Amino acid sequence: MHVLHVVGARPNFMKAAPVLRALGNLGQTKQTLVHTGQHYGANMSDVFFSQLEMPLPDVNLGVGSGSHAWQTAEIMSRFEPVLLERRPDFVLVYGDVNSTMAAALVAAKLGIRVGHVEAGLRSFDWTMPEEINRVVTDRLADLLFTPSEDADANLESEGVRPEKIHRVGNVMIDSLVRLLPVAAKVPKNGFPERYALVTLHRPSNVDGSESLKNILQSLVEITESLDVVFPVHPRTRQRIAEFGHHAEKLHLSEPLPYIEFLALESRAEVVITDSGGIQEETTFLGVPCLTIRSNTERPVTVSIGTNVIVGQDREKLRVELAKVVSGNRKTGTVPPLWDGHAGERIAATLGSIEH
Ligand code: UD1
């Protein structure tokens, strides 16, 4: 069996690593790793490969940044010859970034079976580029590896045949479980004792001057009760500079490596984010999460986890933060199959399919 994995952006790396490892342990599987280059450089890409102990990509398409249409088209035209040459039995794509959808389209058109890891998540919000990527990728995929029951239900309601759906659990949690003991050894010095950890990069939050200013002001207000540690995504850093906004009272840093971020996340009083994956990681860690979005494609983090959706409502953020600071934090439980073994279940499923 020959499996070709496609990764491109930061959140893909921690999802692919456990599957690469599990397939490697299965033996007799040829694996090829293609990096589209959607994210690039030391702190957005390279450090993840070393910390997650992933093999270096066999091919890097070197696409880089651009508009959605340009980036998607560029990935497609650079990926097609690779696929024609390598002809794997399966192409595995991860998550919901542009690289995911672009690679799935190329593979499907060449008649190569596509497996989508993290299938079935829906925010039902078509203004999110990721929602378009999720729906298109799932429509094209032959194997849909889902993290939770709601994802199965979404796919079934869209008419996906149940035999294509494989509930394997949350593969990103596999990486977390494996590296949490390493993160626990990261020294605490240099960081405040009690802090809120912030990440922010959604276009809906950071691409508009007013919404970004509003959020930054809310974060500065929070510093009255907690320090705010904020590793800044390149998109957000660009916007802050472009709009001339200020955030002096916040502890700003460059994007962090996986292990250092995990250390900060696991020790935070609260995490304030618009990321998808961080809503899940905080639920696993039992750390309260306030999500600055009006919806989530990961509802299980709200229904049984520690996540609260606060939108861009400053008052709601204030109220929820006050609850955390006063010790009245939301507790939760870990969803089924978020147990560190999702990658093995994916490998076993692939191994059981005729190729
Ligand atoms: C992408 C994903 C998003 C994911 C996020 C995680 C899509 C549509 N979006 O958003 O779903 O949550 O990654 O980080 O696929 N840049 C750099 N260095 C990099 C990458 C980007 O400086 O390594 C800058 C570029 O100026 C670029 C901007 O950041 O224009 C945005 O990058 P892009 O990959 O387009 O989207 P993200 O916001 O990172």
- List of domains in the chain: 2-170+338-351 (3.40.50.2000), 182-325 (3.40.50.2000)
What residue owns the CA closest to ligand 1's atom 11?
A: 97
Strand residues in the chain grouped as ranges (E): 2-7, 30-35, 59-60, 90-94, 113-117, 143-146, 165-167, 195-199, 227-231, 251-253, 270-273, 289-291, 307-309
Instruction: Give 330 Cα–ligand 1 centroid separation in angstroms.
Output: 31
Can you tell me the distance from the alpha carbon of 102 to that of 25, in angstroms, rounded to the nearest whole number? 29
What residue owns the CA closest to ligand 1's atom 14?
A: 10
Can you tell me the distance from the alpha carbon of 300 to that of 306, in angstroms, rounded to the nearest whole number? 10
Confidence of residue 189 (pLDDT cuts 50, 70, 90): confident
pLDDT tens-place string over residues 145-185: 999 999 999 999 999 999 999 999 999 999 999 999 999 99
pLDDT tens-place string over residues 262-312: 999 999 999 999 999 999 999 999 999 999 999 999 999 999 999 999 999
Q: Which amino acid is at 325?
A: V
| Dihedral of alpha carbons 261, 267, 272, 276, sign | positive
| Catalytic residue selected from 201, 245, 246, 355 | 201
Q: Which of 201, 258, 296 to mutate for ligand 1's pocket (most ligand atoms within 8 Å of CB)?
A: 201
What per-residue confidence (pLDDT) applies to 147? 98
pTM of the model: 0.97
pLDDT tens-place string over residues 99-144: 999 999 999 999 999 999 999 999 999 999 999 999 999 999 999 9
What per-residue confidence (pLDDT) applies to 43? 95
Which residues lie closer than 8 Å to 309 by C-beta, 6 or more apart? 291, 293, 294, 295, 296, 302
Dihedral angle computed from the Cα positions of residues 261, 179, 101 and 135, in that order, rounded to the nearest 10 degrees: -90
Active site annotation includes 35: no
- Atom of ligand 1 lying closest to residue 275 CA: 12
Instruction: Give 287 Cα–ligand 1 centroid separation in angstroms.
Output: 26
pLDDT tens-place string over residues 246-265: 888 999 999 999 999 999 99
Can you tell me the distance from the alpha carbon of 269 to that of 226, in angstroms, rounded to the nearest whole number? 9
Instruction: Give 86 Cα–ligand 1 centroid separation in angstroms.
Output: 28
What per-residue confidence (pLDDT) applies to 286? 98
Q: Which of 43, 46, 97 to mutate for ligand 1's pocket (most ligand atoms within 8 Å of CB)?
A: 97
Instruction: Give 28 Cα–ligand 1 centroid separation in angstroms.
Output: 35
